[in-house]
Amino acid sequence: MSGAAGAGIRLVLLGAPGVGKGTQADMIAARLGLPHISTGELLRAAIREGSALGRRVKATVERGELVPDALIGEVIEERLSRKDAERGFVLDGFPRTVAQADLLDRFLAGRGQPLDRVILIEVPEPVIIERLAGRRSCGRCGATYHVSHNPPKVEGICDRCGAALQQRPDDAEAVIAERLRAYRDQTAPLVSRYRSAGRLVPIDGQGRPEEVLGRIAAAVPGLRA
């Protein structure tokens, strides 16, 4: 595949909360001209809008627990069925359970389009906790920052859209522990599934975002600049 722009590729970014999936998914999606699909961001947008979906999931998301598979299944099927995802996509935060991975396999098998790669981003837990606790996000456009590693140009204000930055309710310290537990119990089993399927690409997620992207690009055909 030469000149990544225009190339179709179906990628999943897997890893605990705070490893940098959203940041990497954004950069990869921009490089490939494909949509970055984050189920967490879809749910936060629904919560912001106060839609029926948002009202159903708000308390669960704020406790750091996973929303039910059937519900997230509807959300993702609707999103993947849109025209912009026909050529490919970068999934971030989905699948998160074995049932969700089954759903994704069925959906893609129905289209004759298997997953290309599952990128597992790995970061030691103490680093994750420090990253999440310092994370700030834009309440309007969803852009993310870190108080010391990636501060906005003006404190508390989004560089991209000028709105106020906030701490996600689920980045509060007590909730971080619950999210890490949900990852260990419900999502980590997917690692061996995708490894056995020959799809897994483990990546060291420490360092600057550009360094991590360089490692991913070196390991995933179709992503080299």
Minimum separation from the CB atom of position 92 to ligand AMP (A): 7
Q: Is there a catalytic annotation at residue 168?
A: yes
Q: Is there a catalytic annotation at residue 31?
A: no
Complex with ligand AMP: residue 4 or 118, whichever CB lies closer: 118
Q: How many angstroms separate the first and last alpha carbons of the chain? A: 11
Complex with ligand AMP: residue 23 or 39, whichever CB lies closer: 39
Q: Is there a catalytic annotation at residue 21?
A: yes
Minimum separation from the CB atom of position 218 to ligand AMP (A): 25
Neighbours of 56 (CB within 10 A): 15
The active-site residue out of 117, 135, 136, 215 is 135
The active-site residue out of 168, 195, 199, 224 is 168
Distance CA 95, CA 104 (A): 7
Complex with ligand AMP: residue 67 or 213, whichever CB lies closer: 67
Distance CA 29, CA 41 (A): 15
Minimum separation from the CB atom of position 32 to ligand AMP (A): 20
DSSP result, 150-217: B--SSTTB-TTT-PBEE--GGGSHHHHHHHHHHIIIIITHHHHHHHHTT-EEEEE--S-HHHHHHHHH
4 contact partners, CB below 8 Å, separation of at least 6: 31, 32, 33, 222, 223, 224, 225
Q: Is there a catalytic annotation at residue 96?
A: yes
Contact residues for ligand AMP (CB under 6 A)?
A: 17, 39-40, 43, 60-61, 64-67, 72, 93-94, 96, 100, 170, 179
Q: Is there a catalytic annotation at residue 79?
A: no
The active-site residue out of 96, 117, 136, 215 is 96
Give me the active site residues, please: 21, 96, 135, 168, 179
